[in-house]
Structures are given as structure tokens and as C-alpha cells.
């Protein structure tokens, strides 16, 4: 509510237009633009409509003709690149390199080339994931030093957080033991407690905790 109150009306309208979902013709604009270029504009709207119809277009003929008219007038909006979401980029970075397909490697490479910060974050994140998977705790100090020197701010902050408890984190990355079993039991007890809240006595809860495998 505060944002709507304090933001200028023109800014809100422009923002809404930017977030407007792509139209039904959007996936086919690249093809239409290519056909317009290769024919030097000497192609009819009806012909283009039939061609994109064969490729899955389900909109009206008028929309295709309107886009063709904009191309001839030079007023057509440029096609926006299909930018992957932050969640998708993160999933590509954290996945082992050998597990990525070509259709995932190519857009990740494009993102890395477009943004140096993502490139550096990607390299450091993959290095840290390798430390965790291979239990190479002896390399953690060097990783923290590199991250604090030239990593993007969120990752350098994460490195500083690790440094504050360096001995424990190093042990977690080097030793075969962990608190995972204990955390699992704690989660099970909390689940039982929430499921029985207000429904049964403490004696029954204690019995379920002790006998449930």
C-alpha cells in the first residue's frame, strides 16, 4: 500500500507494462522478423499467418498483420531475450558440470559472459560445492580468502560468516561425523508434537516418540 501511495502514477503504469505477460504472438516474432528480412518485406500477412499457424500459433490473423505493418513502418518493438530466472541460474550453477545438458550449458555460458559477477559467483559456488562433496575441509581457508577478496557482496558476506566459526565448519567438511541424525530426530519430534497439539496427553506423545521408528 505504501508503494502505491508514494509512487508516481506514470511510473506505476510503465512498471505494469513491463510486467505484462507476453502475447500469443511473442514466441513467433523471431520467425516473423527473419521471414520479413529475407524477403525484403515482400511477404503478405496472410502468408505469414499460415506459416506460423503450422508452427503452433493459435492467435488471430489480424495480430500477425499488425506486427507485419509495424515491421514495415519500423515501429516494431525489439524482441526481448529470454532471460532465465535467478532460481534456474542457481540450479545450473549448483548442479555438477557433468549433469548439465547442452540446453542448460549454453544459456549458463551466455549468462556468465553477460555478467562478470555471476561468473565469479559461479566459480566460487562450484568450488565450495566440490569442497562439501569431497570433504576437503583443509581447502576451506583458501576459499574464504578468495571469496572475501573479489566475490560479489552476498558471497563475501557468506565467507565472513564461515570465518567466524571456522573450526566447526572445517570439521564438518573434513570429518565423517555430523549432527544429521540428531537433527533428523529433532525434526521427527517436532512433527509429532505439532500433529498432536491440543488432541492428546503428554503420556501419549512420549509413547509415540519412544516407539515410532
8, burial (CB in 10 Å: exposed 0-12, middle 13-18, buried 19+): exposed
Grid coordinates representing 91?
540450479
Residue 180's pLDDT is 83
DSSP letters, 97-110, are GGG--HHHHHHHHH
Residue 21's pLDDT is 42
Contact 33, 40 (CB under 8 A): no
Residue 78's pLDDT is 67
C-alpha distances (whole Å) from 89 to each of 27, 136, 205 are: 21, 25, 44
Distance between CA 60 and CA 91 in Å, rounded? 37
Identify the DSSP state of 25.
T
Distance between CA 101 and CA 79 in Å, rounded? 26
**Residue ranges in the chain modelled with pLDDT below 50:** 17-22
Contact 116, 122 (CB under 8 A): no
Residue 125's pLDDT is 92
Distance between CA 33 and CA 79 in Å, rounded? 9
For cell 562433496, what's the residue?
Answer: 133
Contact 27, 43 (CB under 8 A): no
Distance between CA 58 and CA 196 in Å, rounded? 53
Distance between CA 133 and CA 173 in Å, rounded? 8
> For the whole prediction, is pTM greater than 0.85?
no
**Could you give phi then psi for residue 54, rounded to 5 degrees?**
-70, -20
Q: Give the number of C-alpha atoms closer than 13 A to the C-alpha of residue 37, restricted to the C-beta side.
A: 6
Contact 179, 167 (CB under 8 A): no
Q: How do the domains of the chain map onto residue ranges?
A: 2-73, 86-174, 180-211
Amino acid at each position: 500500500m505504501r508503494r502505491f501511495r508514494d509512487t508516481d502514477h506514470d511510473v506505476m503504469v510503465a512498471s505494469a507494462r513491463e510486467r505484462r505477460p507476453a502475447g500469443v504472438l511473442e514466441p513467433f516474432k523471431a520467425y516473423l522478423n527473419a521471414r520479413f528480412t529475407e524477403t525484403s518485406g515482400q511477404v503478405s500477412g496472410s502468408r505469414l499467418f499460415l506459416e506460423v499457424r503450422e508452427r503452433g500459433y493459435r492467435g488471430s490473423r489480424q495480430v500477425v498483420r499488425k506486427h507485419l505493418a509495424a515491421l514495415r513502418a519500423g515501429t516494431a518493438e525489439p524482441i526481448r531475450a529470454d532471460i532465465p530466472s535467478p532460481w534456474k541460474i542457481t540450479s545450473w550453477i549448483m548442479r555438477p558440470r557433468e549433469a548439465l545438458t547442452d540446453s542448460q550449458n549454453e544459456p549458463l555460458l551466455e549468462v556468465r559472459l553477460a555478467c562478470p559477477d555471476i561468473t565469479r559467483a559461479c566459480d566460487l559456488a562450484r568450488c565450495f560445492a566440490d569442497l562439501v562433496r569431497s570433504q576437503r575441509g583443509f581447502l576451506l581457508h583458501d576459499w574464504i580468502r578468495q571469496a572475501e577478496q573479489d566475490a560479489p557482496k552476498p558471497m563475501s558476506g557468506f565467507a565472513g560468516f564461515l570465518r567466524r566459526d571456522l573450526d566447526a565448519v572445517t570439521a564438518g567438511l573434513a570429518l565423517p561425523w555430523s549432527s544429521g541424525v540428531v537433527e533428523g530426530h529433532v525434526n521427527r519430534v517436532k512433527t509429532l508434537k505439532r500433529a498432536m497439539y491440543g488432541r492428546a496427553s503428554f503420556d501419549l506423545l512420549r509413547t509415540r516418540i519412544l516407539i515410532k521408528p
